[in-house]
């Protein structure tokens, strides 16, 4: 597997274009977004992205029209990765990793929602504290490596379960079109955005 990283600006308009292009051009198995939460004292694994409530301006003062990521989109999109399970599987010395069901309504959550939409739920958002003497870059790197590995394993299991369901659906004439079929065609690389 190949890991590619891109840095996205704190800019709603640029993020919207970048996320669309990433999913179209790269078709990643999993897109992992990493954002800094200046008030955090732990690493938070976010379960879902929310569509409404984006009232704060980005670094250029821009706000999404109507405070919405995707007009007409669902209110909440969940990641196919069970973040609670991932949290339980992770043990990193000197680092607290916690589950979160609300990523806030700023550019990180906006990015996450759009990525979940384009990737049919195969995205993740990790909120990290700012670097400091108690949380140096070396510790962040180690923590992200462990978390990404666990997320990849969880994502692989979710895809395998979807594949099993798809195959079962093909043999069972009472089943309608399987849910999430298009996500099963994703074949390449992991994307990580820092």
Amino acid 161: pLDDT: 61
Domain regions of the chain by residue span: 2-158+188-193
Amino acid 158: pLDDT: 66
Beta bridge partners of 33: 125, 193
User: Which tens digits make up the pLDDT trace of 116-144?
Assistant: 999 999 999 999 999 999 999 999 999 99
CA separation, residue 90 to residues 104, 169, 194 (Å): 24, 34, 20
Amino acid 156: pLDDT: 83
Fold of 2-158+188-193: Aminopeptidase (3.40.630)
Amino acid 4: pLDDT: 87
Residue ranges of the chain with per-residue pLDDT less than 70: 158-194
Q: pTM for the complete prediction?
A: 0.82
The first and second tokens of residue 114, run together, are 């759009």
Amino acid 193: pLDDT: 40
Could you give the maximum distance between any two Cα atoms of the chain, in Å?
60
Element counts in the chain: helices (H) and strands (E) = 4, 8
Q: Which residues are catalytic?
A: 46, 108, 127
Amino acid 159: pLDDT: 67
């Amino acid at each position: 597997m190949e890991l590619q990283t891109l840095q996205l600006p704190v800019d709603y308009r640029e993020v919207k274009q970048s996320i669309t292009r990433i999913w179209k051009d790269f078709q990643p198995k999993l897109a992992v977004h990493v954002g800094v939460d200046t008030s955090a004292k732990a690493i938070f694994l976010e379960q879902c992205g929310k569509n409404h409530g984006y009232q704060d301006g980005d670094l250029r003062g821009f706000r999404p029209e109507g405070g919405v990521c995707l007009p007409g989109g669902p209110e909440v999109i969940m990641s196919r990765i069970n973040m609670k399970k991932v949290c339980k599987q992770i043990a990193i010395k000197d680092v607290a990793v916690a589950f979160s069901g609300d990523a806030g309504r700023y550019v990180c959550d906006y990015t996450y929602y759009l990525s979940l939409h384009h990737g049919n739920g195969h995205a993740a958002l990790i909120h990290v504290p700012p670097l400091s003497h108690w949380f140096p870059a070396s510790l962040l790197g180690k923590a992200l490596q462990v978390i990404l590995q666990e997320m990849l394993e969880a994502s692989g299991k979710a895809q395998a379960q979807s594949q099993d369901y798809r195959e079962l659906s093909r043999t069972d004439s009472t089943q309608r079109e399987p849910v999430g079929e298009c996500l099963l065609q994703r074949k390449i690389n992991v994307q990580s955005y820092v």
